[in-house]
Structure 1
């Protein structure tokens, strides 16, 4: 008997928890700052609807129709004699590779939550705050220790099962995440000087797109819209296999995308007005969260409290993704090996921990490994393999599988997606889905390599 969510709310929150991650709450604010504020947000939302949403419906459809994870879903649905089931290896690799660096970064969030709540940043200069981050990276015990804690939390939740562990805990974490976000957003927009940041973030000025380079802004928006939903490695498809056929999948996907977008937009509302209030450039890049924002909190009234809440929110965002992906890893392992949940947890725990060590040690003991040149790390390599290769190529395979007569096929996909009540997936956009979306994905794939190496 296939596991089932106990409620539709559980499905939506956990699916959103998988999609909502560091791409929303860490990358989105600074990339918005880099590419012109509200004008970038408008372009991002456009591509989220026309690109991310259809691919998400396809992943859900493959999962629900097969009642399997990505380990076996293609075997069930593919035409006899075809090789679509080879996709399982890309999905399994993608889930593991994502966790190989995600667990370490989540550990950073826990470290900074503790530092904030204990007042470690109180009275420090800008240079000293920056040194705190570098010192944390240089300490292998902190890096490995907190990564280990994150792996323990994730697999402990998953060991409780789908309803009693993954669904129950993820629902509480998502509700807490949303509540903390709203409190932080209210605080940020009420700071003295935050009004200019709100205007920059919410009032589109398309001349800023020209200043940033129109093509650069469009490619950045396409990439962010595409990668934010964690599509292409079966991490979303697994939750399709856990729901019944009472509702059409387009409406379910829309709700997940809306929740994912809400979190990204509120994250920007937390970060960008605060940056303007304290005269900080919101487009400073990845260091914004760990270097710039702690300086802001250090100078903010009750900054210790607001800083602790901020990094708790960041940790929850990362943990909801980790729990969702761990669930996918476990279900894939069970289907491929026939092991029960306990054995799958034990073996997967060991594998994830060992495979996460290179990233955790890549900033200290293994810092001599610089795959893309001076200053790069093992994390950069792992992120590049996932974000620039497995996610776009995997998504393209899902699209082709659902639209090609040599795969599962358009007719079968439509029948599954439109089973139940709710919003129908439009039959009329077949040409767009079958040809234009793969072309866009190919452009994103090529652009990723161009930006990285040229």
Structure 2
């Protein structure tokens, strides 16, 4: 059998921007600012950064290490590194299932972002009030043909980029997209913070209010769980997405240093999004909301009150579209690489198979807001909520536990092998003395995230 040399990133910048692009998700972008404001602004950010350092970054580093050492996606990474006779490789099927579940709903949500670019640019929402923008968003969700068309457009963009190969497609396009995202974000931040009355929004968002965190024990634990969950989910670890990017890089840089750079970029984008949203909302006397209501109902109404609001609104949704597409492209690349590593497919064949499979698998979510609106799981919600729950509250934490156990256990890859791989090259080194924490402390925190994800569901079913 002819040996095919592993593809590699052309530059370190490409690796960092693509890994950050995969980590910078829409839930992170629209949820982080709101939670930060709710739990004491900068006080919450400090708590989040603590959990990022002790939980998120070490696990990301482990996933990178598994990918770089094996030079394979999760399809073959565990097979290459595990002791003979062990069964760590069985997790690859859970990991790839998580990637498919993620794109099954993420392509639809990314389609919302794309749909709003022409809506804002063409002036369809000109002069719209919050009631008007709410009606426009409801109309989008109620239209199956429109949702399916935008979902298909997202799939088409991602497949075209991935079909061009790692360097010529994924790296080159994502690099441009991420640099444009950062540039647009910078322009929007300057515009928002210079609005008359923006100071109140900045103070609400970033002024540290430790009283909101330490008001009482339940509030503190609620804030700590929110910070811990944010630090964990923001890096998209546990499903092999970071392992595939690790498999494409050389050994000239330490992995903790690269993970820290990506985590800093991810955090910067999340923080900056709040500096767009809150000053604008406070400047025009609009109460900030969370979730889709903030992005698709509140903010379009705010932009319409702003001088040159059509331009700023269009740029905002271009920014959000780039954030969404960078994640979709990253997950698609993981899915394609799985087929190539597991079944020996060419990239062209992997694209052909998934070009049929992914849009078909994404249909239930797109139709779950209209034709299949009656399909609801008690305590969880509609199809999109169920798919999100399976990924975020189950596969990601379980996968993270697998990566951690694999890297610390003598029955897995082992601590010494992991540390040697993580510390190859120059840069920030992974402390070998962290083994007890990674063996006992980090798994406990991930287990708490897993249990807390199920707690409200079990309570709803029991009630």
TM-score between the two structures when normalised by the length of structure 1: 0.98
Within-5 A mapping of 1:254-273: 254-273=260-279
1:288 counterpart residue number: 294
The match for 1:213 is 219
2:88 pairs with 1:111? no
Decide whether aligned partners of structure 1 residues 42 and 286 sit closer, same or farther in structure 2, where only a CA change above 3 A counts: farther
Please state how far the C-alpha of 1:25 moved relative to its aligned partner. Answer: 1.6
Runs of 4+ in 1 over 6 A off after TM superposition: none
* Larger deviation, residues 413-422 vs 311-320: 413-422
User: 3-state DSSP class of the match of 2:241?
Assistant: coil
- Which consecutive unaligned segments of at least 5 residues does structure 1 have? none
In the alignment of these two chains, the number of paired residues is 453
Q: What is the aligned counterpart of 1:308 among 305, 314, 328?
A: 314
1:432 counterpart residue number: 437
Map 1:326-405 to 2 at 5 A.
326-372=332-378, 376-405=381-410
Q: Render the CA deviation track for 1:257-302: whole Å, top value 9, x for unaligned.
A: 1111111111111111112212233344431111111110111111
Pairwise CA RMSD: 1.3
- 8 Å contact from structure 1 (residues 154, 326) kept in 2: yes
Which of the residues 125, 130, 138 maps onto 2:129?
Answer: 125
Once the two structures are TM-superposed, the CA of residue 373 in structure 1 deviates from its matched residue by: 5.4
1:150, distance to aligned residue in structure 2 (A): 0.3
Structure 2 counterparts to residues 398-413 of structure 1, below 5 A? 398-413=403-418
Q: Is the 8 A contact 2:31 2:290 kept in 1?
A: no
Any stretches of 5+ residues in structure 2 without a counterpart?
none
Deviation per CA, 1:145-183: give whole Å up to 9, x if none. 000000000010000000000000000000000000000
2:105 alignment counterpart = 101
Return the alpha-carbon distance in structure 2 between the equivalents of residues 355 and 33 of structure 1.
36
- In 1, Cα distance between the equivalents of 2:282 and 2:458? 33
Q: 1:364 to 1:373 in 2, by over 3 A?
A: farther
Quote the Cα distance in structure 1 between the aligned partners of 2:416 and 2:321: 42
2:198 counterpart of 1:194: yes
Query: Mapping of 1:10-25 within 5 angstroms?
Result: 10-25=14-29
Q: Is the CA contact 1:33–1:283 (under 8 Å) kept in the aligned structure 2?
A: no
Residues in 2 aligned to 1:34 and 1:387: alpha-carbon distance in whole angstroms: 22
Structure 1 residue aligned with 2:449: 444
Give the whole-Å Cα distance in 2 for the aligned partners of 1:205 and 1:30.
15
Structure-2 residue corresponding to 1:60: 64
Aligned twin of 1:71? 75
Question: Are positions 1:35 and 2:39 aligned together?
Answer: yes
**TM-score of the aligned structures, taking structure 2 as reference length:** 0.96
